[in-house]
């Protein structure tokens, strides 16, 4: 398990991979399903993780965007994101990370 770095792998041709990180599986899955329903000229892949670091795996795709999903009604949700930030390389924060705060259980 190591720090997630934006340039650790070369980009794929017409492929983008989004990593959704959050403590609530149902919310992440609903967001992933909504993203994948959108029409896109390139292939879009979505991976879900409860927290970082990700397991070291040479087959893991390049991550192009990380979205941290925070439920404002859950202290644990914020804590998971805070702890996960330690495993992000600082260069990811230049246009490759976003935070989605929600007060609802459904998007």
How does pLDDT run across 66-88, given as a tens digit for each residue?
999 999 888 999 999 999 999 99
For residue 25, how many C-alpha atoms fall within 13 Å in the half-sphere facing its CB? Answer: 0
Residue 106 confidence (pLDDT) above 60 = no
Range of the domain at 94: 15-102
Q: Domain tally for the chain?
A: 1
Percentage, residues of the chain above pLDDT 70: 87
Percentage, residues of the chain above pLDDT 90: 50
Looking at the domain assignment, is residue 8 inside a domain?
no
Here the CATH number for the domain that contains residue 56 is 3.40.50.300
Nearest to 69 by CA among 94, 50, 90: 50
Query: Does the predicted TM-score (pTM) go above 0.75?
Result: yes
């Amino acid at each position: 398990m190591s720090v997630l770095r934006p340039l650790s792998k070369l980009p794929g041709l017409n492929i983008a991979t989004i990593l959704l990180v959050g403590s609530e599986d149902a919310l992440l899955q609903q967001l992933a399903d909504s993203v994948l329903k959108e029409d896109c000229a390139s292939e879009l892949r979505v991976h879900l993780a409860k927290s970082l670091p990700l397991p070291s795996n040479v087959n893991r795709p390049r991550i192009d965007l990380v979205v941290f999903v925070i439920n404002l009604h859950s202290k644990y949700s914020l804590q998971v994101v805070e702890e996960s930030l330690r495993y992000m390389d600082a260069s990811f924060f230049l246009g490759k990370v976003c935070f989605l705060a929600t007060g609802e259980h459904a998007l």
